[in-house]
């Protein structure tokens, strides 16, 4: 199909195509956009048009596909915008707390814990992990009283080391 033939057939169908575009989009501006998109795609693909077939049906099919593609784009954009708006409401309503200081403090506390003697650190860590005094005593093969005193002295030593390092801040962390 030549450009002249394409223009001739398109001009004879333009009012029918515009009516179809209005039926699909229900809006004059959107119908004009749809007409333009359809015309551009049809012109770009006019070499694919088979002579002797129905030009009007071919144009209607292109218009229908353009409309469906645009509808899908708008629907996906709308859902993304709604999701962003919902997330913004959550962000605006709930302040975000900065937990950086507690992360740094935990690393420092781990360093302080490593400064304890192994005899006090191991029973303290086991107790901190949820083991009972009796379980720790059996696991380390030491008397129950020894486990209790080592955990007591580990707590006391940790408390004094934390007070030396953090001072009054240790109460608020």
In tens, the pLDDT along 37-81 reads 999 999 999 888 888 899 999 999 999 999 999 888 887 766 555
The pLDDT-based confidence of 107 (bands split at 50, 70, 90) is confident
The parent domain of residue 71 ranges over: 3-93
Q: What is the CATH number of the domain that holds 53?
A: 1.10.1740.10
Whether 16 and 70 share a structural domain = yes
Pure H helices in 26-132: 28-44, 55-93, 100-114, 118-128
Length of the chain: 173
- The helix (run of H) or strand (run of E) holding residue 27 is none
Here the tokens at position 60 are 């209607």
CA angle 121, 127, 129 (to 5 degrees): 100
End residue of a domain, out of 30, 59, 93: 93
Q: Please, are residues 44 and 66 in contact by the beta-carbon 8 Å criterion?
A: no
Percent of residues, the chain, with pLDDT higher than 70? 82
């Amino acid at each position: 199909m030549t450009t002249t033939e394409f223009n001739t057939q398109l001009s004879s169908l333009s009012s029918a195509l515009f009516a179809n575009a209005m039926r699909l989009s229900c809006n004059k501006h959107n119908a004009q956009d749809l007409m333009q998109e359809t015309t551009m795609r049809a012109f770009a693909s006019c070499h694919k048009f088979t002579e002797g077939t129905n030009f009007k049906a071919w144009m209607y099919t292109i218009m229908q596909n353009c409309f469906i593609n645009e509808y899908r784009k708008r629907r996906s954009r709308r859902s993304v915008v709604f999701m962003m708006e919902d997330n913004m409401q959550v962000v605006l309503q709930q302040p975000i707390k900065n937990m950086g200081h507690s992360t740094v403090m935990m690393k420092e506390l781990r360093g302080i814990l490593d400064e304890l003697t192994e005899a006090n650190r191991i029973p303290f860590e086991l107790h901190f992990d949820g083991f009972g005094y009796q379980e720790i005593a059996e696991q380390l093969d030491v008397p129950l009283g020894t486990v209790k005193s080592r955990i007591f002295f580990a707590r006391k030593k940790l408390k004094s080391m934390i007070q030396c390092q953090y001072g009054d801040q240790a109460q608020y962390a």
